[in-house]
């Protein structure tokens, strides 16, 4: 262990005891190099400063996170800064993506809001009609359709789960779809 590592170890031991002066000494030793690393990863001055502040704050709050048996303090701390910088970049990207998605959800300028209301009302009406038509099906046909369309099960899987032949599942599905079509056509 070289002299710098021994000095870091002693400063860390004192920080673990709540020594503010030892913390300041570690800050003076590593703030510059930590900022340089964070700046390279984030490519943003303000974000890099935030990362360094968060890393030092984490060290102050939980000095026991550093285990001298696993390597020098410098390696531990710069690794902490690097991980936080990568997390910050990912967080910023998620925020940008979320903002872009939200921007794309807004109706284009000039679109008639009433059209959207009518569309939504029509969709709700059709949904109610389909559910009412499903309720009119015999239970064995309704079960097969629900498993296939709402549960995402294949016909083979439905046959296995219900303990019936695959041909029966196909027959029930076809009969149910025909009854649904007739019921929905009658309602317009």
Q: What is the pLDDT of residues 71-124, one digit of tens each?
A: 999 999 999 999 999 999 999 999 888 888 777 765 555 556 677 677 777 778
Average pLDDT (155-164) is 92
Give this prediction's pTM. Answer: 0.54
Say how many C-beta atoms besides its own lie within 10 A of residue 40's C-beta.
11
Given a cut of 60, is residue 178 above it in pLDDT? yes
pLDDT at residue 113 in the model: 62
Q: What are phi and psi of 25, to 5 degrees?
A: -65, -40
Q: Which residues neighbour 155 within 8 Å (Cβ) at sequence distance 6 or greater?
A: 148, 166, 169, 170, 173
Alpha-carbon torsion (173, 179, 184, 188), positive or negative: positive
- What are the tens digits of pLDDT across the range 2-39? 999 999 999 999 999 999 999 999 999 999 999 999 99
Domains of the chain: 3-104 (1.10.1740.10), 115-186 (1.10.10.10)
């Amino acid at each position: 262990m070289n002299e710098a590592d021994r000095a870091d170890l002693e400063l860390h031991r004192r920080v673990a005891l709540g020594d503010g002066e030892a913390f300041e000494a570690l800050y003076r030793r590593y703030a510059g190099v930590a900022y340089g690393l964070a700046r390279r990863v984030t490519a943003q001055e303000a974000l890099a400063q935030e990362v360094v502040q968060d890393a030092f704050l984490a060290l102050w709050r939980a000095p026991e996170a550093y285990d001298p048996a696993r390597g020098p303090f410098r390696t531990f701390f710069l690794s902490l800064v690097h991980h936080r910088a990568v997390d910050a970049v990912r967080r910023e990207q998620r925020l940008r993506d979320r903002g872009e998605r939200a921007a794309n959800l807004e109706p284009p300028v000039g679109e008639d809001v009433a059209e959207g209301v009518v569309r939504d009302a029509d969709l709700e009406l059709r949904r109610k009609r389909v559910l009412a038509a499903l309720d009119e099906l015999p239970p064995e046909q309704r079960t097969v359709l629900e498993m296939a369309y709402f549960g995402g099960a294949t016909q083979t899987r439905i046959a296995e789960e219900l303990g019936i032949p695959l041909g029966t599942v196909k027959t029930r599905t076809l009969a149910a779809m025909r009854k649904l079509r007739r019921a929905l056509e009658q309602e317009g």
